[in-house]
């Protein structure tokens, strides 16, 4: 991907899978999906892109509210999100040339509330424009190593 793009000013990642289902029967493989995809997949974007990004550029990764307010089915997501937030906070200390890295932690997205609302009693869906604004704040803002919560 980076080879095709060449230089770039900002990378925004909203990618990465994790397993959603009961913890009781969750296998190590199911749990590791979040680690391989949502955690290591996003970290890889920074490791590979850090030498190619413009001076003063930014990386924005995606975490999620189930780290702060977990639900039983989202253990794999919580593990991945925790790893992402740890990465962002620590990696920000060492990026050079003014390059920044943040994570956006979206709440329950309005577009997902039909599918996932029933797993989140009392949780108010977050309008999509609020989540988009959080990404804008990361890309156009000044801070680094921040977790920007959109909920």
Footprint on this chain of a second copy (rule: CB under 8 A): 22-24, 26-28, 31-32, 35, 39-40, 43-44, 47, 66-67, 70-72, 74-75, 77-87, 89-91, 93-96, 145
Q: Which is nearer to a second copy, 4 or 25 (CB)?
A: 25
CB of 125 to a second copy, least distance (A): 20
Q: Which of 86, 90, 104, 96 is nearest to 141 (CA)?
A: 104
CB of 82 to a second copy, least distance (A): 3
Query: d(Cα 57, Cα 64) in Å, to the nearest integer?
Result: 23
Query: d(Cα 38, Cα 58) in Å, to the nearest integer?
Result: 19
Query: d(Cα 40, Cα 62) in Å, to the nearest integer?
Result: 12
Cα 105 to Cα 63, 78, 129, 137: the distances in Å are 5, 11, 14, 12
Q: Which is nearer to a second copy, 12 or 92 (CB)?
A: 92
Q: Which is nearer to a second copy, 93 or 140 (CB)?
A: 93
CB of 149 to a second copy, least distance (A): 15
Q: Which of 12, 30, 26 is nearest to 135 (CA)?
A: 12
CB of 78 to a second copy, least distance (A): 4
Q: Which is nearer to a second copy, 30 or 128 (CB)?
A: 30
């Amino acid at each position: 991907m980076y080879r095709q793009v060449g230089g770039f000013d900002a990378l925004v990642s909203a990618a990465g899978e994790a397993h959603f289902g009961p913890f009781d029967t969750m296998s190590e493989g199911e749990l590791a999906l979040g680690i391989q995809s949502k955690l290591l997949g996003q970290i890889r974007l920074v490791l590979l892109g850090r030498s190619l990004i413009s001076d003063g550029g930014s990386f924005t990764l995606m975490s999620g509210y189930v780290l702060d307010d977990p639900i039983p089915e989202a253990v794999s997501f919580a593990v991945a999100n925790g790893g992402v937030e740890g990465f962002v906070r620590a990696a920000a200390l060492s990026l050079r040339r003014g390059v920044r890295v943040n994570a956006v932690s979206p709440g329950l997205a309005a577009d997902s509330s039909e599918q996932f609302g029933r797993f989140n009693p009392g949780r108010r869906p977050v309008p999509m424009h609020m989540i988009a604004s959080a990404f804008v704040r990361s890309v156009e803002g000044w801070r680094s190593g921040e977790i920007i919560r959109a909920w």
